[in-house]
Structures are given as structure tokens and as C-alpha cells.
Amino acid sequence: MQVTAAKSFRDLCAEHGIAVTHQRQVLYEVMQGMSGHPSPEEVYARVKKKIPAISLATVYKNIHLFVESGVFRKMSMHHGSVRVEMNSEAHHHMVCSKCKAITDIGEQELGLVSKRTRLPGGFLVERYAVDVIGLCPKCQ
């Protein structure tokens, strides 16, 4: 399986036109294994267990690289720092106005998304990102 994983990461890098490095591969695997919207520091902490000498700067550089090259998607942030979207399915976010917790909600479950691709003013729609602001069950 290591061979398989290594191979697909190679392919992924090839597809996105970026070089394969050990740090990059471990970073990628660690991020894949995280859910939600991890912060760079959280990612760094985990990667450090596998590569103790890795630098935080490298983590930042590669998170950006992954986002820019389309490997991961950056999410619009309610956190104060850069976050990456680890849920690859179409979904939106419920943001608790009290405790600030963010929970994913599937596009189906939310059930309000339009199919329009062009808006007044000529704006061309790529996708909708909905934040539902409200109270989570715990805070009600």
C-alpha cells in the first residue's frame, strides 16, 4: 500500500505540476487524514511527529501551494487564520454565533441552492458558499 500511496501522490503532483518531495508527501497524507478545517499549526503539529525537523514555514508554503495548484480548497474563514477545506463533498457551513463552532451540512440537507449561473450585473457563478449563522444545539 505504501507503493500505491506513493504512486498516487506522484501522479497527483504530476497532474498539478508540482515537484514530489518527502515533506510534501507526508504533509499531504497528514492533511488527508484530518477532517474539518485544520489550522496550519494543527497540521504542523501532526507532521512534526513524522518529520521532527520540518519547518513551520515549509508547512505554510506547501499549504499555499496545494491550494493554489488546486489540490485542496481554501475555505472562507470564520477562524482568524488560513484554513483548508478537507470535506471534498459539496457542502456548506453552520456557524454558531455563540461558541463559533463550525459544522458541515450537505448541500442536499440544506436544500436551498439555486441553479442559476448568471446573476444581475453579469456575475458568472462558479459555486455558492452558504454560511448558516445561528445557534448550535449546545448553545440554544
Residue 99 marked in a binding site:
yes
13 is in an annotated binding site: no
94 in contact with a second copy (CB under 8 A): yes
Q: What is the C-alpha separation between 24 and 65, in angstroms, rounded?
A: 10
Burial of 124 (0-12, 13-18, 19+ CB in 10 A): exposed
Nearer to DNA, 62 or 92 (CB): 62
**Residue 94 contacts residue 103 (beta carbons within 8 Å):** yes
Residue number, 42 or 107, with CB nearest to DNA: 42
Nearer to DNA, 77 or 113 (CB): 77
Q: Which amino acid is at 4?
A: T
Q: Which residue's CB is nearer to a second copy, number 3 or number 112?
A: 112
Q: Which residues contact 85 (CB under 8 A, 6 or more apart)?
A: 37, 72, 73, 74, 75
Q: Report strand pairing: 84-85 vs 91-96.
A: unpaired
- In the stretch 54-73, what mask flags binding to DNA with x, by CB under 7 A? xxxxx-xxx-xx--------
**Within 95-124, which residues bind a second copy (CB under 8 A)?**
95-97, 103, 105, 109-114, 116, 119-124
118 DSSP β-pair partners: 124
Which residues are at the interface with a second copy (CB under 8 A)?
Answer: 76-78, 94-97, 103, 105, 109-114, 116, 119-137, 140
Residues at the binding site for Zn(2+) are 96, 99, 136, 139
